[in-house]
Chain A
Amino acid sequence: MITFDNVTKRYPGSHEALTSVSFAIEQGEMVYVTGHSGAGKSTLLKLMAAIERPTSGTVLINNQNVSKLKEATLPYVRRKFGLVFQDHKLLYDRNCYHNVALPLAINGITGIEAGKRIRAALDKVSLLGKEKAMPITLSGGEQQRLAIARAVVSRPSILIADEPTGNLDRNYAEDIMALFTAFQQVGVTVIIATHDALGNANYQNKVLHLNQGRLRSLDQAKLTNVEAPANLEAKT
């Protein structure tokens, strides 16, 4: 589904954000991208979502080589993804309903069909009662759930979330993680970047651990993280 082969990304006038990263993600997997801030997690997600292009190496999304695609076709590749941004990127000039409507509008879906899908998405994140509310009136957890509703409303096959639990307390964070697990169980590929241990709650999942732009062992879930979350949880 997503294949990185020897991918390097260097931003102009800066060091290499990613160096020789290779991995493959299959359909329906749940993958964690971990590492300290500045380790290249966001860059990795941007490359996956065809927002950035690699400096060298190949990024294949559904067997399409992102580097070789024309600029004009990139938007269509991006529509395959549901994105949950670190800073939500909610639009504060419109209510919840119209926030969720945006991706559908981009896909050309409007009217009754759009209304059904928007309510279904809001229902999934338990915000159906707040469709008329403005995002600014929502709590942090609700805003995050709204961002997730917006990410899934166009039924993407891949869901990418950047620090979805970053600023939330434990209860909210667990709600959010349960939501992601639910999506994975219906066949959606879920990719989550996180710097905290809670992200690794499910030890069967694949972990891409980044350290200064380099990928550490793919099987770290089995090697180290089995113990780590328990230890951290005990501390907090």
Chain B
Amino acid sequence: MNAWCHIWFSQHTQALNLVLRRFKSNQWNTLLICLAIGVTLALPSILYAVLDSVNGLANNVKTESKMSVFLATNHSEDAVGNIKAALEKNAAIKNFTFVSKQDALAKLQAAEANNEIFNSLENNPLPDAFFVEPNKLDVDSIASLQKELRQLEGVEEVVVDGAWLKRLNYLVLLGKQAMLIIASLLGFALVAVIGNTIRMQILTQQAEIDLSRLIGATKSFIRRPFLYAGALYGLFGGLFALVITFAVIFLFNRTIASIAAEYESQFLLNHLNMTSITLICLIALFLGLASAYLAVSKSLLHSTK
């Protein structure tokens, strides 16, 4: 068992050494291929970083989201009591406050600048209002709650504060879909690039492969160096992609900081976190491995025995 382990280990270090030697003797080619893979992977990575930051922004703003329930000015006497009872019973509502039209007018009049305008009014134009804070803040639950409250008797209008938030959420969703599509299309491109590179290498090694088959090499012995090559292309490409992504975010942030300052905001793009970094490297490595496997299996099928 021990000896078997030793052989297994030595076979893998042998293949890895061989691949690294080949990489070294073709430095420029290897570098260019890895760069191409890096650029391909950088695009979705940057997109991901941007979306992740915008999504974070949207989530922060959500907590401020409230609904205003305005009552009709000519509602019946007991409508306020009924609505209050209905709101208390509704499980989707965290808490709410009632502001009568008198209170609202008093508040407005308290601001000195408004004094003249309101003094000239004959009767109070403001409606009674409930300010509702929902339990769930996602788009769907807010929409259904809005619909529900609208149906209560005496309610004139239900306004969701920050309707722009809804739009932002949809935009982020759209961005996410675009990122997924771009990522999968580029993934295919990556498989094609790495697969083609490996196929070229198989062609240049054909004499060695044929000879090795004749003198007793197993299929996995022949396949192994190419699989390592594919995985390493992917991994190095992934590292290049990370470098590019970090550089781009760094550059963007200098401009974004100036824009955000104009809005008195501290918004900046987040750098990729450890999970994303690991994930990008793993995906790149796996794509490289998979495309090498496809290329080698196809080529080995064609060669004799």
Contacts and interface: CB of A to CB of B under 8 A. Distances in A.
Interface of A: 49, 51-52, 72, 74-79, 81, 83, 85, 89, 91-93, 102-103, 105-108, 110
B112 to A, nearest CB: 91
9 contacts: A75-B217, A75-B219, A75-B221, A77-B216, A81-B215, A89-B211, A89-B214, A91-B207, A93-B208
Contacts of B207: 89, 91-92
B216 A106 contact: yes
Contacts of B217: 75, 106
Max chain A Cβ within 10 angstroms of own Cβ: one of B11, B211, B215: B215
Contact of B14 (A81, A85, A110): A110
Interface of B: 7, 10-11, 14, 207-208, 210-219, 221, 305
Contact of A108 (B7, B213, B215, B219): B7
Contacts of A91: 207-208, 211
A77 B215 CA distance: 9
B214 A106 contact: no
A110 B16 CA distance: 13
A79 B14 contact: no
A105 B14 contact: yes
B212 A106 contact: yes
User: What does DSSP make chain B's interface, helix, strand, loop or mixed?
Assistant: helix
Given A51-B305, A91-B208, A103 B215 contact: yes
B10 A108 contact: yes
A72 to B, nearest CB: 7
B215 A102 contact: yes
Nearest to A46: B214
B11 A75 contact: no
B22 to A, nearest CB: 11
A76 B216 contact: yes
Nearest to A53: B305
B216 A102 contact: no
Contact of A83 (B7, B11, B215): B215
B218 A72 contact: yes
Contact of B214 (A77, A83, A92, A110): A83
Given A49-B214, A106-B216, 16 more contacts: A51-B305, A72-B219, A75-B216, A75-B217, A75-B218, A76-B216, A76-B218, A81-B215, A83-B214, A89-B207, A91-B211, A93-B208, A102-B211, A105-B14, A108-B7, A108-B14
Contact of A106 (B10, B210, B221, B305): B221
Nearest to B6: A108
Contacts of B210: 89
Given A91-B208, A102-B208, A102-B212, A108 B11 contact: yes
A165 B6 CA distance: 40
B218 to A, nearest CB: 5
B212 to A, nearest CB: 6
Contacts of A103: 215-216
Nearest to A105: B14
